[in-house]
């Protein structure tokens, strides 16, 4: 679903982190008033499917939440944002996890769908260059566009050398890795290329799927795990990977880039730079919360940051399901629940700003 076929296109282009830490003992922390389930509550089954970037966070949330609410059975599936969106719309899943908001066209076709931010994530650009994975190479949107459209084919191309003076880059072909499934990661990466490079916007655009140009030796992969494996197994490759997989990048000793932001600064992905970008866009977030945080203004803003969405139908077939969805999402966005620091740090996400959490709460209340 590219910009040209309207998938994932939103109303605006407006749009971690410290090292991933081990998950501490989370059971029982910060549940508060969200956990008081009736003694004989009827079992409610919920299915979450979609984003592989959001999947690790759901897998931290679910054991804690369901232990306190044993009448809820919440199943999680990592299928890609495109599948999450389609299954939420069709009713196969109650929760479609997505890094992308629904396009204007899809919102018009499917009245009542909600796009509820649950947290804030970001995306890395990673590479596997023998001898250089310990060096933080610099990349701009135009240079990455040139690499992914096949115009820049060698690591020692003059355009890459200009951004990285003094670095001995190899005279070797670049292997690009991209997602083959419908992916919110593709959505935000292609937004970065589109917002920073008019030629990419005009020729390719952005979406959960795009028509990738025929770059020599390009490799396709499914999900963030597939992207990590493809990068690891193919020397001289480059890929875009969600930050919740930073631990896998570090374990495999792969490289992580500094990216040029809208202010022309090359910044690392940290909690601080992700928060800077989110803070720039929080006040601009509309009531329906469909907005891109990519390429946010600000000298210290990291350029590929996004809301992680739950795509949900506001009109549920069963009142009990609607009630449990409201309760779960209310817990998920709370700083004493799912947005608590230990959950966010474990996947290198950052919590929702208070003003955005208020908007999400208003949308949650619409689920009936």
Size (the chain), residues: 368
Q: How confident is the model over 339-344, as a mean pLDDT?
A: 98
Q: Which residues contact 238 (CB under 8 A, 6 or more apart)?
A: 125, 126, 127, 128, 147, 174, 175, 176, 177, 231
Q: Is residue 47 part of a domain?
A: no
Q: Is residue 86 part of a domain?
A: no
The pLDDT tens digits for 61-78 are 999 999 999 999 999 999
Q: What are phi and psi of 193, to 5 degrees?
A: -65, -40
- At 352, the pLDDT band (50, 70, 90 cuts) reads very high
Q: Is the pLDDT of residue 16 over 60?
A: no
Tokens of 20: 């991933």
Give the whole-angstrom CA distance, residue 13 versus residue 316: 31
- At 136, the pLDDT band (50, 70, 90 cuts) reads very high
Q: Is the pLDDT of residue 148 over 50?
A: yes
Q: Is the pLDDT of residue 319 over 60?
A: yes
The predicted structure's pLDDT at residue 254: 98
**Residues 150, 213: contact at Cβ < 8 Å?**
yes
The predicted structure's pLDDT at residue 7: 42
The pLDDT tens digits for 176-196 are 999 999 999 999 999 999 999
Q: Calculate the CA 24 to chain-centre distance.
A: 23
Read off the pTM.
0.87
3-state secondary structure of 51: coil
pLDDT mean across residues, the chain? 91
* CATH number of the domain that residue 182 is part of: 3.40.190.10
The pLDDT tens digits for 277-307 are 999 999 999 999 999 999 999 999 999 999 9
Give the whole-angstrom CA distance, residue 243 versus residue 311: 21
Residue 202: exposed, middle, or buried by beta-carbon count in 10 A (0-12, 13-18, 19+)?
A: exposed
Of all residues in the chain, what percent carry a pLDDT higher than 90? 89
How many domains, in total, are found in the chain? Answer: 1
Q: Which of 17, 234, 268 is nearest to 137 (CA)?
A: 268
Q: Is residue 345 part of a domain?
A: no
Give me the helices (H) in the chain, please.
55-68, 81-90, 104-109, 141-148, 158-163, 184-196, 198-203, 223-233, 246-251, 271-282, 319-332, 341-346, 354-364
Give the whole-angstrom CA distance, residue 272 versus residue 249: 20
Give the whole-angstrom CA distance, residue 142 versus residue 259: 11
Q: Is residue 82 part of a domain?
A: no
Q: Which of 179, 143, 178, 183 is nearest to 163 (CA)?
A: 143
Q: Is residue 140 part of a domain?
A: yes
Residues of the domain holding 175: 123-276
Q: How confident is the model over 4-25, as a mean pLDDT?
A: 39
- At 82, the pLDDT band (50, 70, 90 cuts) reads very high
Q: Is residue 256 part of a domain?
A: yes
Q: Which residues contact 131 (CB under 8 A, 6 or more apart)?
A: 170
Q: Is residue 71 part of a domain?
A: no
Of all residues in the chain, what percent carry a pLDDT higher than 70? 89
Give the whole-angstrom CA distance, residue 5 versus residue 278: 28
Tokens 């350029």 -> residue = 303
Tokens of 323: 């009630």
Q: Is residue 115 part of a domain?
A: no
Q: Is the pLDDT of residue 4 over 70?
A: no
Q: Which of 186, 15, 13 is nearest to 85 (CA)?
A: 186
The predicted structure's pLDDT at residue 349: 97
Q: How confident is the model over 196-214, as a mean pLDDT?
A: 97
- At 225, the pLDDT band (50, 70, 90 cuts) reads very high
Q: How confident is the model over 126-145, as a mean pLDDT?
A: 98
């Amino acid at each position: 679903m590219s910009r040209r076929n309207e998938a994932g296109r939103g109303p605006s282009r407006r749009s971690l982190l410290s090292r991933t830490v081990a998950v501490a003992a989370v059971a029982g922390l910060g549940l508060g008033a969200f956990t008081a389930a009736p003694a004989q509550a009827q079992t409610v089954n919920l299915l979450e499917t979609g984003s592989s970037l959001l999947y690790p966070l759901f897998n931290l949330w679910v054991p804690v939440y369901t232990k306190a609410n044993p009448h809820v059975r919440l199943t999680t599936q990592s299928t890609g944002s495109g599948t999450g969106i389609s299954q939420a719309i069709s009713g196969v899943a109650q929760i479609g996890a997505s890094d992308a908001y629904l396009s204007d066209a899809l919102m018009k076709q499917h009245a009542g769908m909600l796009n509820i931010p649950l947290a804030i994530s970001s995306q890395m650009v990673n590479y596997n260059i023998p001898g250089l994975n310990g060096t933080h190479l610099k990349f701009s949107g135009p240079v990455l566009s040139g690499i992914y459209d096949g115009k820049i084919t060698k690591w020692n191309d003059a355009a890459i050398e200009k951004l990285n003076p003094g670095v001995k880059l190899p005279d070797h072909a670049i292997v690009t890795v991209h997602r083959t499934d419908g992916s919110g990661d593709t959505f935000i990466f292609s937004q970065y290329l589109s917002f920073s490079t008019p030629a990419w916007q005009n020729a390719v655009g952005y979406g959960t799927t795009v028509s990738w140009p025929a770059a020599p030796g390009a490799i396709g992969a499914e999900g963030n795990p597939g992207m990590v494996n493809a990068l690891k197994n193919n020397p001289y490759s480059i890929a875009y990977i969600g930050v919740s997989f930073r631990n896998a990048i570090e374990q495999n000793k792969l490289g992580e880039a500094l990216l040029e932001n809208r202010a022309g600064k090359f910044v690392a992905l940290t909690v601080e730079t992700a928060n800077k970008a989110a803070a720039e866009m929080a006040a601009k977030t509309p009531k329906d919360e469909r907005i891109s945080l990519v390429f946010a203004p600000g000298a210290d803003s990291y350029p590929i940051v996004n809301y992680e969405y739950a795509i949900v139908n506001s009109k549920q077939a069963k009142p009990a399901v609607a009630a449990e969805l409201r309760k779960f999402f209310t817990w998920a966005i709370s700083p004493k629940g799912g947005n608590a620091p230990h959950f966010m740090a474990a996947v290198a996400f950052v919590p929702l700003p208070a003003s955005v959490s208020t908007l999400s709460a208003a949308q949650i209340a619409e689920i009936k």
